[in-house]
A and B are shown apart, each in its own frame.
Chain A
Amino acid sequence: MGFSLLDIISGYENLIIVDSILTGEKEPGYIYEMKIEELLEGDLKPAHYAGIPDLYLLAKKINIPFPEKVLILAVEVKDPFEIKEEFSDEIKSKISEIEKKVEERIKEFLIT
């Protein structure tokens, strides 16, 4: 979505992003938590050029309201390349557990 995401998230107080990630360093189902500051420092190369860090910098630059609190959760997946309508067996077997963890973390995030 690139820059268009800014139209959607601008004006909200809290931003929660739940996405998939392939690092190859953890088992499928592992949940990473990231902060915008870490992404700004990191070497991530988003496919559509404008990732969340770019949007954050752009919003700051032209004074577009950007959510004050941001939670980014990324679930390690097995194979994002094969196009299909279902999760891999590894993710399928853990999906309830993943959902529960994500839900709990979002609740904590919204309370604090």
Chain B
Amino acid sequence: MAKKIEVDPITRLEGHGKIEIFLDDKGNVEKAYFVVPELRGFEIFSLGKPAELMPQITPRICGVCPTAHHMASAKACDDLFKVEVPSAAKKLREMFYNMFMVEDHTLHFYILGGPDFIVGPDAPKAERNVLGVINKVGLEIGKKVIGIRREIRELMTYLGGKIIHPVWALPGGVSKGLTKDDQKKFIEIAEKSVDFALFTLKALKDIVLANKKYVEVITSDTYTHKTYYMGLVDDNNKVNFYDGWIRVVDPEGKEFAKFKVQDYQKYLAERSEPWTYIKFLYLKNVGWKGFVDGKDSGIYAVAPLARLNASDGMATPRAQEAYEELYSTLGGKPVHHTLAMHWARVIEIIYAAERFLELAKDEEIASDKIRNVPTETPEEGFGVVEAPRGTLYHHYQTDEKGLITKANLLVATQNNSARIAMSVEKAAKGLIKEGKVDDGILNMIEMAFRAYDPCHACGTHSVPGRIPIKVTIYDHKKEVVKELKNI
């Protein structure tokens, strides 16, 4: 008889999730499921609301990455109201967004994902947390992490009004600009951010990459999937978090597609599975072949490693150096090792900090021309950004008064959801043998999804806007004796 192992709730990710593992008679894994039981119903909740409220409403989806929703929504509203954003406002938005990427990625590297490698994959559970990280790296580094995040977030609060739910980006621009005096402070913190990012790369090399055992884990087959990769790139195919082309490369690294957000429906499709509330995105032109990797399967990945794989490099010098080092060390592009995501994330911290500095120094950023007021009748708008956790799409339709008649949000974690499900099952199959399971092994299975930095609070859907529950009760002959449902 199969034995069931349940890890509920899984820890250190944004939102809720559950893993169920079914063992066969020999104690090996027969099947493992990554179950997402939570939902957000913002697409329904948004109906009838004025479109210009969406940049304020959608950040409520998640308290961890509200800036991503705020910005994707503002960009969708620019498109909806057919208004061109002034150059200075574009630069302000991009700077703000890169500040967010620095502080959010830092949170993941040191606090959410960091304990797996800084403290150790098989360390006692009680030590695999931020306090364990501080015990390992020292109080001063702990203070440095908290300090740089606080300084960045204070500046974001100054511009955005509120850090958690910014009230800043508007259709056609932003509500507040920078003065020349402000600019000095932004440059100062940007310089500190670059130093901090380079320090973080050194910490990664000293603590993780210098440990042969950790590198073996990172490059092991247990944590490897050969899939397609997606990320936003600029005109030179360099990584860009705020704007550009959506580029997809195949498992061999060859460009498969490159498109603007307005065409996303030609390339992406969604499917549901009965065991989870999250929808699985896949490449329409390749097709759904089940939870399998390879060139014939439409499953793809997003987020740091995928962005690097889908690009031709980084647009800033120190990040480019780090990018080249990653690929030369791990055998060239694309890298398929899920746990290399942590390394890619650190490279992105460097890029975000360098881009923050470039923009903070830009003469035009202190211009007072920061908004064009919309005058056109809205109809349909699309927006895209790279959230820390991957490509985020907002798509709105309105009536002639600008009230939302349809909203579709493809959130970062949905893009990754099929690959995460595969990663969890493959890790479980690779690590659990003959029924031997301990806390360290279960953590190593959790590591398979934690590397993606998933956020299920915004990754789940329900059409009626509430949790759909269906309870089916079977007897010993597996015949249905009762069925309860609320949908």
Is A47 positioned at the interface, with any CB of B under 8 Å from its CB? yes
User: Which residues of B358-391 are within 8 A (CB) of A?
Assistant: none
Is B161 positioned at the interface, with any CB of A under 8 Å from its CB? no
Q: How many residues of A contact B (CB 8 A)?
A: 22
User: Which residues of B39-98 are within 8 A (CB) of A?
Assistant: 39-42, 44-45, 63-64
Q: Is the interface of A mostly helix, strand, loop or mixed?
A: loop
Is A71 positioned at the interface, with any CB of B under 8 Å from its CB? no
Is B146 positioned at the interface, with any CB of A under 8 Å from its CB? yes
**Distance in angstroms between the alpha carbons of A58 and B131 in the assembled complex:** 7
Q: Please give, as numbers and ranges, the residues of chain A lying within 8 Å of B9 by CB-CB distance.
A: 45
Is A3 positioned at the interface, with any CB of B under 8 Å from its CB? yes
Is B15 positioned at the interface, with any CB of A under 8 Å from its CB? yes
Q: How many residues of B contact A (CB 8 A)?
A: 36
In the complex formed, the residue of A with least CB distance to B151 is A7
Scan A74-99; emit 1 where CB is below 8 A from any B CB, else 0.
00000001111000000000000000
User: Which residues of A1-19 are within 8 A (CB) of B?
Assistant: 1-4, 6-7
Q: Are B130 and A83 in contact (CB under 8 A)?
A: no
Q: Are B11 and A1 in contact (CB under 8 A)?
A: no
Q: Please give, as numbers and ranges, the residues of chain A lying within 8 Å of B457 by CB-CB distance.
A: 47
Q: Please give, as numbers and ranges, the residues of chain A lying within 8 Å of B392 by CB-CB distance.
A: none
Q: Are B465 and A82 in contact (CB under 8 A)?
A: yes
Scan A38-49; emit 1 where CB is below 8 A from any B CB, else 0.
000000010111
Q: Are B465 and A61 in contact (CB under 8 A)?
A: no
**Distance in angstroms between the alpha carbons of A100 and B64 in the assembled complex:** 32
Q: Are A7 and B131 in contact (CB under 8 A)?
A: no
**Distance in angstroms between the alpha carbons of A84 and B143 in the assembled complex:** 40
Q: Are A62 and B142 in contact (CB under 8 A)?
A: yes
Is A102 positioned at the interface, with any CB of B under 8 Å from its CB? no
Q: Are A6 and B14 in contact (CB under 8 A)?
A: no
**Distance in angstroms between the alpha carbons of A63 and B134 in the assembled complex:** 12
Is B16 positioned at the interface, with any CB of A under 8 Å from its CB? yes
Is B205 positioned at the interface, with any CB of A under 8 Å from its CB? no
The listed residue (B39, B130, B142) touching A54 by CB distance below 8 A is B130
Given contacts A3-B107, A3-B111, contact A47 B41 (CB under 8 A): no
Is B150 positioned at the interface, with any CB of A under 8 Å from its CB? yes
Q: Are A48 and B466 in contact (CB under 8 A)?
A: no
Q: Are A83 and B153 in contact (CB under 8 A)?
A: no
**Distance in angstroms between the alpha carbons of A58 and B130 in the assembled complex:** 8
Is A50 positioned at the interface, with any CB of B under 8 Å from its CB? yes
Q: Please give, as numbers and ranges, the residues of chain B lying within 8 Å of A7 by CB-CB distance.
A: 149-150, 153-154, 163
Q: Are A83 and B107 in contact (CB under 8 A)?
A: no
Q: Please give, as numbers and ranges, the residues of chain A lying within 8 Å of B467 by CB-CB distance.
A: 81
In the complex formed, the residue of A with least CB distance to B39 is A81
The listed residue (A2, A45, A64) touching B64 by CB distance below 8 A is A2
Interchain nearest-CB distance for A6 vs B (Å): 7
Q: Are B146 and A49 in contact (CB under 8 A)?
A: no
In the complex formed, the residue of B with least CB distance to A7 is B150
**Distance in angstroms between the alpha carbons of A54 and B11 in the assembled complex:** 13
Q: Please give, as numbers and ranges, the residues of chain B lying within 8 Å of A48 by CB-CB distance.
A: 14, 63-64
Q: Please give, as numbers and ranges, the residues of chain A lying within 8 Å of B154 by CB-CB distance.
A: 7
Residues of B participating in the A interface, judged by any CB pair closer than 8 Å: 9, 11-16, 39-42, 44-45, 63-64, 107, 111-112, 129-131, 134, 139, 142-143, 146, 149-150, 153-154, 163-164, 457, 465-467
Give 23 A-B contacts (CB < 8 Å), ordered by A residue.
A2-B64, A2-B107, A3-B111, A3-B130, A7-B154, A45-B9, A47-B16, A47-B457, A48-B14, A48-B64, A49-B11, A49-B13, A57-B131, A58-B130, A58-B131, A61-B131, A63-B139, A81-B466, A81-B467, A83-B41, A83-B42, A83-B44, A83-B466
Additional A-B contact list (9), CB under 8 Å, known A3-B111, A61-B131: A1-B164, A3-B130, A4-B163, A49-B11, A54-B129, A83-B41, A83-B45, A83-B466, A84-B45
